[in-house]
Structure 1
């Protein structure tokens, strides 16, 4: 009898502990969904899960993950307008509420967890700059270049995409500075700084880091930013690389040190990264041109899922060296906060280029092919 008397209490604590480790996302949709009544949700790189919209309302319960962000989108938008996922930033387990979702105008009001509220404000600020970016692009490209030609990404589109990224980075730092100044103690502020460091120099990152509160500077994310700043300095052009060893798809070690004597292009990528995948045809072309020279490519995936990585390798048939950095430790040693990133090293292991026109550099080293 004593054992039975404890069961309700144990069940209560079990439910309470489970709630403490989950994110609950509640929402209500104001539109007629015309039968498209599913909400999709997932963490990046993982399979989709779904819930039904019932009488305009839905509830998603998913495990909290400290270093990840849940992404959701609705079936109506997918069928009518195409996939438009959006992320919700959760600092801790708890509840996020999406009020009065209009799937046609893609608008809603957010309440509940403060980190999610702050992050949506950052997104709104970022989206307001999109018109400015489009206007500047249209001055140079009255018509958007064709994406592919002969099955490969066209050189015109690559140039267009590079210009877009440059403008995006230009406007992002403006929004970033404004947002951090207004929310120095927000989890969203330190997280968006961490996520947008790629392309910034060390002094610019230090400037924005200094705007954060002491609490956020001393948080795990703040410490990672300091580590990134140091990595950015140590992985700059003309520095010697920090050698690493990672596992290839066959389970065997691959080390950068074993590649001494060759020019090596280290390509950081992920299976879920569209721009990474779009560059594969160009990388294959480079590999075909120079593989018989003193040249090798080492692709470093930051996929957390081994299955997603291996499936991508099978699908895209990449004939050069492949490894996976599942903990992103080596990516951070090279100050990689977003992919793709390409680093070219010389036969002695010295960094001679980071991103930029790799094809032009290789033609200078080996001659035009």
Structure 2
């Protein structure tokens, strides 16, 4: 009997230990699903998969590791809505998250979240954020009833309204949650919308633990990269792998003018600029000028496939060390830096103008066509 009791206790302990290393999402969905009963999930550090609801209930079990952010949506969403809108959960550790959706026709996001406190806090944040964006959308429809989404004036108004409504909302939330994981996560998610001064101010409001957290550390790296990549600074040496499996160091390219081009296989504007960049390279490339393409792709095969499509004649490397963040503070691609023979940054430009009107190209003409 004692052995049986010990075995039962050990089994319970092992079960609890296993549960502590997973995120378990328990959901209840009400309403007519019209036979669309699958729940799909994917996300940051989450393998894409699906489960089937039974009588409106489902359970998703995901291995926990820092930085896991699951997104989920229903088969009903994908069949009846545009998108489909993925519903995001942000946990700060293992455990159970409960999701109750009272009406499937309103989408997964309409549900209530309980359990993990960070997941609850993020859902509350997103609910407020969505309300603000609906207000912005209504204001734009009223001001520009006949214009399309690509109308220049409408876009300018959208940016201004985002600054007036969304940024203060984000700022207040981060300040109120500076000592918790969710504050660091929201700051990381919205860092590209903030000025460098505001980003730095909010980052240093985070507690030391959150500055070092999975979402917090990249913000610090980004700020450090911005400082390192200031005009006039010398580029910190780095070494990255080539498509052939060799490597190229920045220091090996010193002694000539160097255009560092950050790009990716999924970036349309990057690829649109390549034909003109080839013409520029043909014109100036040689003993005094070189281009180094640095892809920020996460998937090596996608990078190699696009290189095969583009047939770019200048050296290429894959940013396996996230140099684009820690060394240059790049927030989006395409972004280009012109570096002098001494290794110091001369210019920075978002993109490379495919029509030849960019500031870097004007500088190249000044340097090589005198």
Per the normalisation by structure 2, the TM-score is 0.78
Confirm whether residue 298 of structure 1 aligns to residue 290 of structure 2: no
Correspondence for 2:318 among 311, 320, 324: 324
Mark the CA change 1:65 to 1:143 in structure 2 (over 3 Å): closer, same or farther: farther
Correspondence for 2:241 among 236, 247, 256: 247
Given that residues 98 and 109 in structure 1 are in contact (C-alpha distance below 8 angstroms), is that contact kept between their aligned partners in structure 2? yes
More deviation in 13-22 or 216-225?
216-225
More deviation in 322-331 or 200-209?
322-331
Highest Rg: 1 or 2?
2
State the alpha-carbon separation in 2 of the partners of residues 160 and 228 from structure 1.
30
The structural deviation recorded for 1:28 is 1.7
State the alpha-carbon separation in 1 of the partners of residues 349 and 158 from structure 2.
15
Correspondence for 2:276 among 283, 286, 299: 286
Confirm whether residue 365 of structure 1 aligns to residue 352 of structure 2: no
Mark the CA change 1:256 to 1:171 in structure 2 (over 3 Å): closer, same or farther: farther
Unpaired runs of at least 5, structure 2 = none
Correspondence for 2:122 among 95, 119, 124: 119
CA deviation digits over 1:143-188, x for unaligned, max 9? Answer: 3367xxxxxxxxx89x987986676466442121121233333311
CA deviation digits over 1:314-342, x for unaligned, max 9? Answer: 6x646354433345355223224x54351
CA deviation digits over 1:58-116, x for unaligned, max 9? Answer: 11101113124112112121122233223211111111111125443231111111111
Aligned length: 349
Give structure 1 regions of 4+ aligned residues with deviation exceeding 6 angstroms: 2-7, 159-163
Determine the structure 2 residue equivalent to 1:15. Answer: 15
Confirm whether residue 182 of structure 1 aligns to residue 182 of structure 2: no
Per the normalisation by structure 1, the TM-score is 0.78
Given that residues 243 and 257 in structure 1 are in contact (C-alpha distance below 8 angstroms), is that contact kept between their aligned partners in structure 2? yes
Mark the CA change 1:54 to 1:119 in structure 2 (over 3 Å): closer, same or farther: same
Correspondence for 1:197 among 176, 184, 191: 191
- Secondary structure of 1:198's partner? helix
Given that residues 293 and 317 in structure 2 are in contact (C-alpha distance below 8 angstroms), is that contact kept between their aligned partners in structure 1? yes
Mark the CA change 1:169 to 1:62 in structure 2 (over 3 Å): closer, same or farther: farther
Determine the structure 1 residue equivalent to 2:344. Answer: 350
More deviation in 30-39 or 342-351?
342-351
State the alpha-carbon separation in 2 of the partners of residues 164 and 249 from structure 1.
41
Determine the structure 2 residue equivalent to 1:59. Answer: 59
Determine the structure 1 residue equivalent to 2:148. Answer: 144
State the alpha-carbon separation in 1 of the partners of residues 278 and 210 from structure 2.
47
State the alpha-carbon separation in 1 of the partners of residues 281 and 45 from structure 2.
31
RMSD: 3.7
- Secondary structure of 1:117's partner? helix
- Secondary structure of 2:32's partner? coil
Given that residues 28 and 58 in structure 2 are in contact (C-alpha distance below 8 angstroms), is that contact kept between their aligned partners in structure 1? yes
State the alpha-carbon separation in 1 of the partners of residues 351 and 188 from structure 2.
26
Confirm whether residue 340 of structure 1 aligns to residue 330 of structure 2: no
